[in-house]
Amino acid sequence: MSLKPPLYKEILVGLFVGGLFGPVIGWFIGTFATFFAVTAIDSDNVRTMRTSGFIGGLIGIPLGFVTGLISGLPLRLLSSRVLTLLRNPWLAAGVGMLIGWSFAFFILLRWYPTVGSLIYVVIVCMVVGGITGGVAVIAKPRWL
């Protein structure tokens, strides 16, 4: 009898981590990434920071959801079935950040961004990809 959990449980763990943690992390990081982007592009207009942070957090929710699914599920499957080296959460977080950066690059290729949106999208996608990648690797299928 194999010690590995069934494949459907591994897929569910990857989907749960990416689909649940991704939007929460995207909302939180999206708020602060917006503050950083607004400060980087317009240091004179600080009055709109609250509205910008609120909108940035809302935009970070779907961006975090998609990035979380794109990074969490493959890393979970790769770490449990193919590459046992990826069971290290720090290494998986680094790979998740690369996946997040690639997703941000794909978004920005199809869109003509300003400097602020470039900063925002790259920060949110990389942080969400890194955190969901690290958490997806250490999550236990017994939780299901």
DSSP classification of residue 81: I
Confidence at residue 66, expressed as pLDDT on a 0 to 100 scale: 93
Confidence at residue 9, expressed as pLDDT on a 0 to 100 scale: 87
Percentage, residues of the chain above pLDDT 90:
38
Confidence at residue 43, expressed as pLDDT on a 0 to 100 scale: 63
pLDDT in tens, 2-30: 677 888 888 888 899 989 999 999 999 98
**Quick check: 86 and 75 in contact, CB under 8 A?**
yes
Tell me how many degrees the CA angle 52-16-88 measures, rounded to the nearest 5: 95
- pTM > 0.75: yes
Confidence at residue 56, expressed as pLDDT on a 0 to 100 scale: 81
Q: Quote the mean pLDDT of the chain.
A: 85
